[in-house]
Amino acid sequence: MSVETQKETLGFQTEVKQLLHLMIHSLYSNKEIFLRELISNASDAVDKLRFEALSKPELLEGGAELKIRVSFDKDAKTVTLEDNGIGMSREDAITHLGTIAKSGTADFMKHLSGDQKKDSHLIGQFGVGFYSAFIVADKVDVFSRRAGADASEGVHWSSKGEGDFEVATVEKAERGTRIVLHLKSGEDEFADGWRLRNIIKKYSDHIALPIELPKEVAAAEGEEKPALEWETVNRASALWTRPRTEIKDEEYQEFYKHIAHDFENPLSWSHNKVEGKLEYSSLLYVPTRAPFDLYQREAPKGLKLYVQRVFVMDQAESFLPLYLRFIKGVVDSNDLSLNVSREILQKDPIIDSMKSALTKRVLDMLEKLAKNEPEQYKGFWKNFGQVMKEGPAEDFANKEKIAGLLRFASTNGDEGEQVVGLADYLARAKEGQDKIYYLTGETYAQVKNSPHLEVFRKKGIEVLLLTDRIDEWLMSYLSDFDGKSFVDVARGDLDLGNLDSEEDKKAAEEVAKSKEGLVERLKTALGDSVAEVRVSHRLTDSPAILAIGEQDLGLQMRQILEASGQKVPDSKPIFEFNPAHPLIEKLDAEQSDERFGDLSHILFDQAALAAGDSLKDPAAYVRRLNKLLVELSV
């Protein structure tokens, strides 16, 4: 044992303490996954060494045979896992093993509920593989040295999984990391060659480098102890290079867990090999759940990039558009050079072709999921729908395809559930309907009960109800679908086209003509508050509504711009009234100009509230309403 120097005891980050508490108290019912997680980390460390050694071959230190070794000691009750990958410095060990340096930590911890089954899913989403060692171990020792560092710069990290850990500088001749698990009482089953072999075959057969276990052979003549040999127990070939017909679903699922550091199976995957002008293989996965940093657009994302089966880059974001940042997987190209950089990827025309093809492959995979497994797709949409809504603005070439994957709530659907696709909407549209009608708002309750929907309810026309903050922005990029244009039912002068009979149109014109006097009186009373006053064709039950000008920003977009500190263009609403409503009839008959003005402003403010807007002068509204109530009670 080498001498330890610079030994110190440090405390775990608060979040790590909470995680360790969950781990140590048997969070996972399937304990054997600790080995899968540690092997996955070791594989990543070897991949990183391969990548860095492309430009610095001296990092290999004369040992280019990369591998992972797993051994055990029944008497000492230990399991040891060793790799000759990139290794860690003292600072790396403190950073990586003592804190969770990942965006979304606060959100993650906030979601932990104390329910072990639910929390295990959350931890799976977050990906904290190293700490799974404490499921079976009451003490973990880590010995590591960064490739290229001096042998005297090794580090020994040690913890019992409680409040703190020790770290010391040690001598370590070989680069890489050795993890020693001191098994808890009752976990002796893992200090067994047959058990470890089965776990490796089950979870890590796809790892593309040898995973070796000790193999005892007979002692040579004159020797007391048998010689120790190592044998490779996994297939040690890159999964994506094998024919699809030879790969079981379980192998695809375990490979996903390895590259995504997820504990759950993926929702779907697509494995493809392209030959011809371009030559590459891809294996793309749709996760079951969204990671906590999904909405942080600057968070690391992208595919693992290999060139001729050599790992080159983690999180290569150039191969998929940003709205598909949740996709996990690998792409292995024969056409790129091994020394490719992120900057080169952004300019390489080969990448544009691959990006286009991979994007189409993902969208095809999602289309297939939506068509064949609608319940599964419903779960996908719940997790990733808002990100998919970024698509039409970012990916013009696939706008129609993305639109077909979008899901909305509607007046025909269940309470607020976003399950209605545009193809389904058009399939049940009224005869003669050549538009797709929608309404945006802050909440489902607000849009569902909006006066703007009254004429649509009367005629039995379905309207899409859009309540996500991104929706109005989304619709500014969606002009049509399948040849049918989108119409915001709260915007402009509503025209139902063929859905209105000639008799209806003629009657509406006559009513509008007969109310020209009332229109002028309202214009005078409301003054600068409105852009226009007109008779409404939308209302059947309410006295009045506010419509948005054809070119004006809607309420959602105004609120988003205001919240971000941007200047919002001035615009005024259009005041529409229902001439058949008793309140409007009373208003029309009102002789007093003062009372007419008060009633007009009350109706205007009520229409603003019904649209989800805030009043510019709430005190004036209350004063007018109180005055009216006093008059009525006299």
pTM (2 decimals)?
0.76
Q: Would you say 103 is a known binding-site residue?
A: yes
pLDDT beyond 80 at 349: yes
- What does the pLDDT average to over 126-131? 64
Q: Is 415 annotated as a binding residue?
A: no
The answer to whether residue 23 scores a pLDDT higher than 70 is no
* Residue 85 in marked binding region: no
Mapping DSSP onto H, E and C, the string for 212-274 reads: EEEEECCCCCCCCCCCEEEEECCCCCCHHHCCHHHCCHHHHHHHHHHHHCCCCCCCEEEEEEE
Domains of the chain listed by start with CATH number = 5-237 (3.30.565.10), 240-381 (3.30.230.80), 406-498 (3.40.50.11260), 502-633 (1.20.120.790)
Determine how many CB atoms are found less than 10 A away from the CB of residue 562: 11
* Short-list 80, 110, 83, 97, CA closest to 196: 80
Instruction: Residue 25: name the closest of 190, 184, 166, 195 by CA.
Output: 184
Question: Going by C-beta distance under 8 Å and a sequence separation of 6 or more, which residues neighbour residue 521?
Answer: 596
- Contacts (Cβ under 8 Å, ≥6 apart) of 76: 182
Query: Does 342 belong to an annotated binding site?
Result: yes
d(CA 174, CA 154) in angstroms, rounded, equals 9
**Range with the lowest mean pLDDT among 22-26, 244-248, 342-346, 513-517?**
22-26
Phi, psi of 450 (to 5 degrees): -65, 140
Task: Give how far Cα 614 sits from Cα of 142, 363, 555, 627, Å.
Answer: 59, 40, 10, 21
Residue 37 marked as a ligand binder: yes
**612 annotated as a binding-site residue:** no
Residue 366 has a pLDDT of 97
Residue with the bigger pLDDT between 345 and 577: it is 577
Pairing mode of beta strands 409-410, 544-547: unpaired
Q: How confident is the model at residue 103 (pLDDT cuts 50, 70, 90)?
A: very low
Q: Is 88 known to sit in a ligand binding site?
A: yes
Strands 310-316 and 303-307: antiparallel
What pLDDT score does 125 carry? Answer: 46
CA 480-359-291 angle, 5° bins: 100
Query: Is 556 annotated among the ligand-binding residues?
Result: no
Contact 574, 549 (CB under 8 A): yes
∠ CA 485-487-491 to the nearest 5 degrees? 150
Using 50, 70 and 90 to split pLDDT, how confident is the model at 124? very low
Query: Is residue 104 a known part of a binding site?
Result: yes
Is 90 a known ligand-binding residue? Answer: no
| pLDDT for 1 beyond 60 | no
Mean model confidence pLDDT for the chain: 86
* pLDDT value, residue 336: 80
* Residue 417 assigned ligand-binding role: no
234 marked among binding-site residues: no
Mean pLDDT of 460-480: 91
* 246 annotated as ligand-binding: no
Q: DSSP state, 482?
A: T
> How far is Cα 233 from Cα 236, in angstroms, rounded to an integer?
8
| 219 pLDDT above the threshold of 60 | no
**Token code pair at residue 494:** 């509503």
Q: Which residue has the higher pLDDT, 537 or 379?
A: 379
Res 155: pLDDT: 96
Determine which of 116-125, 151-160, 309-318 has the lowest per-residue pLDDT on average. Answer: 116-125
Cβ 216 vs Cβ 226: under 8 Å: yes
What CA–CA distances, in Å, run from 62 to 44, 148, 174, 254? 20, 11, 11, 33
